[in-house]
Structure 1
Amino acid sequence: MAVLVLEARDCTSPVFLVRTWALLCGCVTFSLVGSLEPEHLREPQRRHTTFWIACMFTWCFFFTLTLLIHVLNVIQFHSLLPVSWKNLTVTVAALGALMTLSASVLLPWRVLVHRPTSARPLAAAVAACLTVLAYCGEVWAIRGQPREQRGYMASLPGVLKIVQCWGGFQMIPLFLETMTATQARDLSAGGGGHVWQLWVSVGLYNVCLLMSLASVTVILCDCAGRFCPFPFDRLLAGFSLLGVLFYMVATVICVTNVLQDVENRSGLLIMETVIISITLMAYTVDFSFSIKQLCERGHG
């Protein structure tokens, strides 16, 4: 099969321009953050903290993924891939917007010292925000295309599944940091603490994340009818229902910890509460869409 090069008029399309913008801003962001001196960090003795690693991984991963998509789109090689290209591009853009947004919030809050006179951390924060805007612009440009050029992941139910994946991914570094803080607190207090609550919560998060990743993977590979032994729309509704139930249990555990006012974890509890609330809302709305779709098909 011949490989075609992108035409000149495609280089001025909104998707091409914002994707190039995302590449430039992402490269500048992780370059500036990686070059920060130890005194710029909140904990100079722990340069590679969990959140610092999570932020750097986010920018580097989505830069690499966006560059690969950009190159494949330019040489028109994506038609040879066994994936739904229109679903893949919007999935990477939307998830990149959410993940880089989290990283841009964590950068000044949990990683850097608040030094308004320091130019390099301020420039890194500005570049991180521009990266978020670039990915948001790519999502907006893709959703602005004609309906036949957009995939399922560009619809509201598809975006909700991306939000669900984002919530599960955010819990990984949060759990590691919370476990470290809890173990240090329990060691100094000489008690057993509430470590079991953390393990129950992380188990629920992981199950929900695996269900959301499985749903997105099936959609991206267009294999719902080939490998799924059950009606895929009913399977999605079941996953959404389980996500609602599991995150409700996790919400109860989180609220209990907030009421107990655990010391040295107030910031982590705020982050966990915000992420749980957003993800629970995404599962709830997604479940509502799934039920509505099943009812419409039943009446039809």
Structure 2
Amino acid sequence: MPVIVLEARDFTSPLFLVRTLEVLTTCTAFSLVASVEHSNTTWNRTFRIFCMFIWCFFFTITLLIHILSIIQFHSLIRVSWKNLTMTVAVLGALMTFSTSVIFPWMVMDHKGELPRPVAAAVASGLTFLAYTSESIVLRTQAHEQRGYMSTMPGLLKIIQLWGGCMIIPLVVEMVHELLNGVAWQLSVSGVSYGVCILMSLITLVVIVGDFAGRCLLPFDRFLAGFSLIGVLLYMLATVICFTKILQLNENKNAITQQLVIMETVISSITLLAYTVDLAFSIKLLCDRGRM
């Protein structure tokens, strides 16, 4: 089968340009950070690794999508291309926005060399703008070119996955900080987050892999069940977060207080996403019940 590439006019299309910018800025960000020496404090190392992983992961997957789009091989892959590209674009925007906040705030070593960390932070910000632009371009496509992940329930599921990913380094840091008297709280909330992340990944695989028709249960009930479990687990985790805030005192160091507050904010946002998603699922089930 001959390789088909894009026409000349396609190389100036908004989608081609923003994906090229995404590849360049993510590569720039992790290259600059990799060349800078950082302090060896645990929290510094954890969040630096987290930011590096995000930039490297989205560089790799965006480059792959970009190449497949150029040579027009995406139709040969047994996945829902429109759902895959929308998921990568929106999740990339959320995750790179997070790195753009985390890296300057908690990772950048202000006592060391500044030019390259500052340039990496700027590159991360440009990456966020590029992924946001791609999300807007994909959302404005014709209706038949948009998949489930472009709808409001689909976007809410991406936010749920983002919340779960952002919680991981926070929980790791809290374990390192060895918060006295909250070991059981970390265990319960950690299990809740883990189950929700697993459910989000299963949902994503089913949607992107076009496996909805092969589910043992109707897909809408499958999603409603996951949303309900997510609401209950994140409600429990959010209550634990607020309990930890009430337990904070002046004896806790500033890093611990920041971690607890960040976990509470992200848990609350993710709980809201699960709640609204559950409302959409119940409405869909009720509408189909009347038919």
User: TM-score band, normalised by the shorter chain?
Assistant: over 0.9
Q: CA–CA distance in 1 between the matches of 2:100 and 2:160?
A: 19
**Residue 218 (structure 2) aligns with:** 231
Residues 1:230 and 1:98: Cα distance change in structure 2 (over 3 Å):
same
- Contact 2:43/2:173 (<8 A) preserved: no
Residues 1:89 and 1:128: Cα distance change in structure 2 (over 3 Å):
same
Q: Deviations over 1:131-160 (max 9, x none)?
A: 111111111111011111111111111111
Residues 1:31 and 1:273: Cα distance change in structure 2 (over 3 Å):
same
Residues 1:67 and 1:117: Cα distance change in structure 2 (over 3 Å):
closer
Give the gaps of 5 or more residues in structure 2.
none
Aligned with residue 273 of structure 2, among 252, 276, 282: 282
Q: Deviations over 1:190-229 (max 9, x none)?
A: xxx2211101101001111111111111011111112x11
Residue type of the alignment partner of 2:268:
S
Give the alignment's TM-score, normalised by structure 1: 0.91
**Residue 144 (structure 2) aligns with:** 148
Q: CA–CA distance in 2 between the matches of 1:298 and 1:33?
A: 54
Q: CA–CA distance in 1 between the matches of 2:205 and 2:152?
A: 17
Give 1:115 shift.
6.2
Name the stretch that deviates more: 266-275 or 9-18: 9-18
Q: 2:237 aligned with 1:250, yes or no? A: yes
Residue type of the alignment partner of 2:257:
S
**Residue 190 (structure 1) aligns with:** none
**Residue 189 (structure 1) aligns with:** none
Q: 2:61 aligned with 1:65, yes or no? A: yes
SS in 2 for 1:26: helix
Give the gaps of 5 or more residues in structure 1.
187-192
- Contact 1:90/1:142 (<8 A) preserved: yes
Residue type of the alignment partner of 1:285:
V
**Residue 90 (structure 2) aligns with:** 94
Give 1:298 shift.
1.3
Residues 1:140 and 1:66: Cα distance change in structure 2 (over 3 Å):
same
- Contact 2:47/2:169 (<8 A) preserved: yes
Name the stretch that deviates more: 83-92 or 167-176: 167-176
Aligned length: 287
Q: C-alpha root-mean-square deviation of aligned residues, in Å?
A: 1.7
Q: CA–CA distance in 2 between the matches of 1:236 and 1:44?
A: 43
Q: CA–CA distance in 1 between the matches of 2:7 and 2:147?
A: 23
Name the stretch that deviates more: 268-277 or 120-129: 120-129
**Residue 19 (structure 2) aligns with:** 19
Give the alignment's TM-score, normalised by structure 2: 0.94
Question: Identity percentage over the alignment?
Answer: 60
Aligned with residue 195 of structure 2, among 207, 232, 241: 207
Q: CA–CA distance in 2 between the matches of 1:156 and 1:195?
A: 37
Q: CA–CA distance in 2 between the matches of 1:195 and 1:47?
A: 19
**Residue 10 (structure 1) aligns with:** 10
Q: CA–CA distance in 2 between the matches of 1:222 and 1:44?
A: 44
